[in-house]
């Protein structure tokens, strides 16, 4: 939930209002009209205009910076795992679980063998 006067970043333009994506804005009001699709009214100082927006179109700058930092950290760890040929770290980063992949391969083999058996049975008929 956002607060009045809070600084936000415009991340989308759902209603195609010509919003400058990536610009900073300040929340100046909340639209409580039940007939309106918009939730917040923001002021964009660089354009010197006000726009009604939905909550999905704005995000806190701190949240965006935290997401970007996590993404950069994951990419750096992935590069390190590939450079050092650390398979365990690579599997952990990619979310590959060894036990499920072994079970999945066995299930595929069983179905393939069963498929071949069914084809051979039908071939004799």
Terminal C-alpha separation, the chain? 68
- Domain ranges for the chain: 7-62, 69-124
List the pLDDT tens digit at each of the 125 positions of the chain.
799 999 999 999 999 999 999 999 999 999 889 899 999 999 999 999 999 999 999 999 999 999 999 999 999 998 998 888 888 888 888 887 765 555 555 555 567 777 777 767 766 65
What CATH superfamily is the domain 7-62? SH3 Domains (2.30.30.40)
User: Which DSSP symbol is given to 33?
Assistant: -
What 3-state class would DSSP assign to 54?
coil
What 3-state class would DSSP assign to 52?
strand
Give the burial string for 2-24 (b: 16+ CB within 10 Å, else e). Answer: beeebebbbeeeeeeeebeeeee
Provide the edge-to-edge strand list for the sheet that holds 58-60.
Answer: 49-53, 40-44, 24-30, 7-10, 58-60
């Amino acid at each position: 939930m956002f607060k009045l006067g809070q600084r936000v970043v415009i991340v989308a333009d759902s209603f195609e209002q010509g919003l400058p994506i990536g610009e900073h804005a300040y929340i100046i009001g909340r639209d409580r009209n039940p007939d309106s699709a918009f939730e917040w009214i923001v002021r964009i100082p660089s354009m010197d205009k006000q726009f009604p927006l939905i909550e999905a179109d704005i995000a806190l700058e701190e949240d965006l910076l935290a997401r970007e930092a996590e993404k950069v950290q994951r990419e750096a760890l992935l590069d390190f795992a590939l450079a050092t040929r650390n398979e365990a770290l690579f599997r952990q980063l990619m979310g590959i679980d060894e036990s499920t992949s072994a079970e999945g391969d066995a299930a595929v083999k069983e179905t393939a063998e069963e498929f071949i058996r069914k084809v051979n049975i039908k071939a004799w008929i």
